[in-house]
Amino acid sequence: MEIGFLDGMSLNQIVLFYCALAAGLFVVMSFYLPLARKFNIVDEPNSRSSHKRTTLRGGGIIYWFAILIYTFCYASEPNVWVLFSAITLSAIISFIDDIFSIPPHPRLFFHFVALTLVFFALGLFDFCSSMLWILVIAYVIFVGVINAFNFMDGINGMLGMTSLVTLGAMQYVNLFVVNFVNPHFIWFPIFASVVFCFFNCRKKAICFSGDVGSVTLSFWIISLMILMMEKTNSIVWILFLAVYGVETVCTIFHRLYLRQNIFLPHRIFLFQILVNEYKLPHVFVSGIYSFLQLVSCILVIWLPVEWYWLFLIVLLPLVVLYCSKFYLLKKAKSKSVSKKHLA
- Domain contains 3: no
Q: What is the average pLDDT across 83-89?
A: 95
User: Coil, strand, or helix at residue 55?
Assistant: strand
Q: What is the average pLDDT across 126-147?
A: 83
Sequence-ordered list of residues with C-beta below 8 angstroms from that of 259, at least 6 positions apart, any chain? none
User: Coil, strand, or helix at residue 95?
Assistant: helix
- Domain contains 1: no
Task: Kindly tell me if the per-residue pLDDT of 1 is higher than 50.
Answer: no
What pLDDT band is residue 166 in, cutting at 50, 70 and 90?
very high
Q: Which domain holds residue 78?
A: 11-342
Rounded to whole angstroms, how far apart are CA atoms 42 and 40?
5
Rounded to whole angstroms, how far apart are CA atoms 202 and 213?
18
pLDDT in tens, 27-36: 999 999 999 9
Helices (H), the chain: 11-38, 61-73, 80-100, 104-121, 124-127, 132-151, 158-172, 184-200, 210-232, 242-257, 270-276, 282-302, 307-342
Share of the chain above pLDDT 70, in %: 94
25 burial class (0-12, 13-18, 19+ CB within 10 angstroms)?
Answer: buried
Q: What is the average pLDDT across 235-252?
A: 92
What pLDDT is attached to residue 343?
52
What pLDDT is attached to residue 339?
56
Please tell me whether the overall predicted TM-score, pTM, comes out greater than 0.85 for this model. yes
Give, as one character, the DSSP assignment of residue 175: I
- C-alpha distances in Å from residue 106, one per residue of 112, 246, 265: 10, 26, 17
Task: Kindly tell me if the per-residue pLDDT of 335 is higher than 70.
Answer: no
Looking at the structure of the chain, the number of domains it has is 1
What pLDDT band is residue 261 in, cutting at 50, 70 and 90?
confident
What pLDDT is attached to residue 147?
85
Asked whether the beta carbons of 56 and 228 are under 8 A apart, the reply is no
- Domain contains 170: yes
User: If you average pLDDT over every residue of the chain, what do you get?
Assistant: 89
Task: Kindly tell me if the per-residue pLDDT of 337 is higher than 60.
Answer: no
Comparison of pLDDT for 292 and 264, the residue scoring more: 292
